[in-house]
Amino acid sequence: MSALMTPTESLPAAAPTGAARRPSWAARLRRHGGIASAAGLLVLMLLLSLAAPWLPIADPSAIDLAAKLLPPGAGHWFGTDSLGRDILAQVVHGARISLLIGVGVVLVALAIGVPLGLVAGYAGGRVDSVLMRCSDLFLAFPPLLLPIMLVAMMGPGLENAMLAVAVSWFPWYARIARAAAMSIKAENYIVSARAFGASHARIVWRHVLPNCTTPIIVQASLDFGYAILTTASLGFIGLGATPPTPEWGLMISNSRSVFLEYWWTAAFPGLAIFLAVMAANLLGDGLRDLLDPKFEGRLA
Amino acid sequence: MSEAVIAVRGLRKSYAGKGGRVQALRGLDFALPPGRSLAIVGESGSGKTTAAMCIAKLAEADAGEVVLSGSDILAANARQTVALRRHFGVVLQNPLTSLDPRVRIWRSVIEPLQVHEPALKGPELRERALAMLARVGLDGAMADRLPHQLSGGQLQRAVIARALILQPRLVILDEPTSALDVSVQAQVLNLLCELRDEFQLSYLFITHNLALVEILAQEVLVMYAGAVVERGPVHQVFARPRHPYTAELLAAVPGQPLEPRLPLANAPAAMQADFTAAEHGCPYRLRCARAQARCTEDAPAPATGPRAASCHFPLGDHEQ
Amino acid sequence: MSGLLIEHLQLRIGAATPLRDCTLQVRPGEVVGLVGESGSGKSLTALACLGLLPPQTTSSGSIRIGATAVLGAGEALLRGVRGKRLAMIFQNPLSALNPFFSIGRQLLDVVGTHFSEPRPALLARVQRALERVQLGATFMQRYPHQLSGGQLQRAMIAMAIACEPEVLIADEPTTALDVTVQARIMRLLKELTEQGMGLLLISHDLALVSQVAQRVYVMYAGRTVESGATRELMASASHPYTASLLKAQPRLGQLQRRLPVIEGQVLPATDTLPGCVFRARCRRAVEACARQQPPTLQLRAGSLVECHHPILPALQAQELNHV
């Protein structure tokens, strides 16, 4: 937007209204349609998965060769797979694993990348160069190759797959945090804080970090979905979850040879991945708005 | 006690520029007795903001001393520096960005207390915040708001409150009202006057608006291309400027007739060119209508003493 | 009737009425000042003239440049007006110029939009524009980041006058500039009007406007509350707000320990109470001020004021001290 849209006065909507107390969290949540439905969806999936053992669904690992590859119908709402296991049960039990993967990978990547980026961006100079070159090493690899290499070294298994993905992803968070730290560092409130003697640690923790959450949250919510997809891909090539774990990616992998005729074996786990990833994206958008101190609950 | 609130000696700063090193500050000296205020005026690039940043140790000076409460802050180590910082407050130009947008006003105001008096707890901190906010004219309802909910004038008051919360004797003000409307500016300036009288403060007031100088300061330093070109009591300097640049600044103040008393110089080169010019001779010569050969050969003597101008051909009484 | 004429312009955005009633006129060759603080609606007035308002704005009243009505006009008509008959320059020249292209290229774009002439003729126009703003031909190849604040503002003025508009609107053109550069730009703007172009100078700085403007309009809370010849207005304002503004402005050479302030805050745009917009902050408010919109009075030839209790010229000396 050029200067045409930035006259010297702000338009009324943007002028400080001196309004009364900000609407409460609950009120803002209610007014933002997107985040409410996304959060609702994710919460529903989580509850279902946690309640799985007590739900009136079949045992996901119960093999029944007589009932294999049955289409969705009365006894098996999502059909059965090539070993006769109920797909609905597998999807529901698998939800817990997939959601855990999504959250876990992102948290680990954040935990490594954000502090690194903040320190690099805030300190600048040689510290910045050294830290960024280290993280560049990891960026140099194609996105899936590094996790594959790491898993190949560490051995297959879900935990290893998650760790491998997280370790290869942290540079993105480092970059985002670094860019945010660099621009925030120059702001007047940071200079003022230094002027009254706040230590660097205090400034980074209390002022830089909270103000750079927005881009990080957006990336994290997108990555929640990618984490599920990537781990599913690893599972697909046999480097992730091991059978009989009902992980969605593994389910799709197992259905490779039959899904053209027996569509339900891939469709339902695929749909589950789709819903989870979409909900995560909506949640990310909503979180970004919700955490913006200027957002007062107006629908995006 | 006649010990100066702040004494600056030989402050110098340069940085790497396109054509070599640029001397942003070439030897600044002054001393502020208690209760007296000093204004540093000049245009952008004159070095006045660099001076303020170096004095507050927010930028690294190349050389010089800044003595506050008996110690030189520039020579102090990290711990001593933090201790010395409680003796001065800082108010910067743009109130909209001077407070953390995520922190409520009262918490921003007492943050210096958290750093310097960690023994204080929540309720007492809040009490001190409310008291100070009331003193600057912000009522209790403002205390819990976020910066974007306050107007520019209200924000600047909050910034002033934060600068004074540790009861310093010196406040460094860098263009504190440039971003404010005229009527709001008047309110903030009045507030600054009242606070100065009530708390016996000294102000180091950086501005390009000469009309404000008389309200807040008794002494003035005029800077150009990193050097002090004239200094003295405000009324004397403004009524009878000796340096041509001072006269040019005075003539340009809105409200003065557009046709100045002196013939205006040739279209001014950007001040950057004057920095290299200042390596030999007078930095102002490229712009000065009165420049002569001598101005290119020798640098004029620096402006030292209570009333001085750094010029080979200062304006005489008959020329003003 | 040529020049710019705005009559009873009102703008509404949602529940807010940021512009309640604006009336002003700029004749050819005249410099007119529009003075107001944040929230007065002065910048919106300028945007309305060029049809640059946000889409949800409803407007009433009229804006005319020459005989052409601009308010509510279609895009095609507005495109013919913008730049060619009515041009605007803004506060921050660095953000108004595209950093990617050279000054010459941007100027050529502007003239090329309005004149379908061969390139040499367009170049001649561009060079003439640069000459008028006292920038040499070398500036054609330079890029915005290579120019100083004053030079950038001149470049922007060159872009605005390249098509020789009838009226130029300058919205806080010198706020971001140093005071000596400001004086030069003001002088330049005044010279440009000597060739018949009208100038609407918008600013919050009454002293600045008084240097070049022949007439001044004062805005408060979306209304033009006073207008008149600059010298008269500065010497003896009729509207209490104008008088307060004059007193609140720090002046050189005046020993002032305290500046008289205007208590209170600007009326929010969403306020719909009857009566005068300035009543809450006015020391001369009388009963009528809270009940009715003040009448528009003509106290002197060529000057108008909207007030129930204006400062009358005869009583100037004493009254100014009370306000």
d(CA A212, CA A65): 54
Tokens of C31: 């410099």
Distance to chain B for A236, nearest Cα, Å: 44
Residues 51-80 of A with CB under 8 A from B: none
In 3D space, the residue among C123, C47, C126 whose CA is nearest the CA of residue C90 turns out to be: C47
Q: Is the pLDDT of residue C118 over 70?
A: yes
What are the Cα distances from residue A43, in Å, to A50, A51, C200?
10, 12, 59
| Number of Cβ atoms within 10 Å of the Cβ of A12 | 22
pLDDT reported for residue A58: 77
Contact B166 A193 (CB under 8 A): no
Q: Which residues pair with B279 in a beta bridge?
A: none
Mean pLDDT in chain B?
86
Q: Contact at 8 Å (CB) between B94 and A188? A: yes
Q: What is the ipTM of this complex?
A: 0.86
In 3D space, the residue among A222, A227, A219, A218 whose CA is nearest the CA of residue A287 turns out to be: A218
Residue of B96, B182, B272 to mutate when probing chain C, most C C-beta within 10 A: B182
Rg (CA), chain A: 23
- The dihedral region occupied by A82, where left means phi > 0, alpha psi between -120 and 50, and beta the remainder, is alpha
Sequence-ordered alpha helix ranges (H) in chain A: 25-31, 33-51, 87-123, 125-139, 145-154, 158-185, 188-195, 200-203, 209-211, 213-236, 248-254, 264-291
Q: Is the pLDDT of residue C112 over 70?
A: yes
Residue numbers in A near B93 (CB within 8 A): 188
Q: Which of B184, B189, B250 sits opposite C252 (nearest CB)?
A: B250
Exposure of B3 by Cβ count < 10 A (0-12 exposed, 13-18 middle, 19+ buried)? exposed
pLDDT, tens only, C197-238: 999 999 988 888 888 899 999 999 999 999 999 988 888 889
Q: Is the pLDDT of residue A13 over 50?
A: no
In 3D space, the residue among C182, C187, C189 whose CA is nearest the CA of residue C158 turns out to be: C189
pLDDT, tens only, C261-280: 877 777 888 888 888 999 88
Q: Contact at 8 Å (CB) between C32 and C203? A: no
Contact C187 B258 (CB under 8 A): yes
pLDDT reported for residue C176: 76
In 3D space, the residue among A14, B44, B178, B258 whose CA is nearest the CA of residue C43 turns out to be: A14
Angle in degrees, CA C14, C19, C24, rounded to 5? 155
What are the Cα distances from residue A248, in Å, to A28, A32, A72, A129, A266?
34, 30, 18, 40, 9
Residues 255-274 of A with CB under 8 A from B: none
- The dihedral region occupied by B243, where left means phi > 0, alpha psi between -120 and 50, and beta the remainder, is beta
Cα-Cα-Cα-Cα dihedral of B89, B92, B96, B97, to 10°? Answer: -90
Interface of B with C (CB under 8 A): 43-44, 151-152, 181-187, 189-190, 193, 208-212, 214-215, 235, 238-239, 248-258, 260, 264, 267-268, 270
Tokens of C163: 């098509």
Tokens of C110: 């502007």
Q: What is the average pLDDT across C238-249?
A: 88
d(CA C127, CA C139): 10
Comparing A11-15, B133-137, B222-226, B292-296, which segment has the lowest mean pLDDT? A11-15
pLDDT reported for residue B278: 57
Q: Is the pLDDT of residue A298 over 60?
A: no
Exposure of A193 by Cβ count < 10 A (0-12 exposed, 13-18 middle, 19+ buried)? buried
E-strand ranges in chain B read 6-17, 20-32, 38-41, 63-68, 71-72, 88-91, 170-174, 202-207, 219-224, 227-233, 308-309
d(CA B19, CA A2): 32
Distance to chain A for C26, nearest Cα, Å: 21
Q: Is the pLDDT of residue A7 over 60?
A: no
Q: Which of B182, B186, B264 sits opposite C204 (nearest CB)?
A: B182
Contact B92 A202 (CB under 8 A): no
pLDDT, tens only, B242-268: 999 998 888 888 765 544 444 344 444
pLDDT reported for residue A115: 94
**Prediction pTM value:** 0.83
Q: Residue A76 phi/psi, 5° resolution?
A: -125, 100
Angle in degrees, CA B194, B197, B201, rounded to 5? 110
Q: Is the pLDDT of residue B1 over 50?
A: no
d(CA B6, CA B46): 22
Distance to chain B for A213, nearest Cα, Å: 11
Residue numbers in A near B56 (CB within 8 A): 195
Contact C43 A12 (CB under 8 A): no
Q: Is the pLDDT of residue A20 over 70?
A: no
Which residue did the predictor score with more confidence, A30 or C157? C157
pLDDT, tens only, C31-85: 999 999 888 889 899 999 999 988 889 999 999 998 899 988 888 999 889 888 9
Q: Is the bond leading into B168 cis (omega within 30 degrees of zero)?
A: no
Tokens of B172: 């460094």
Length reported for chain A = 300
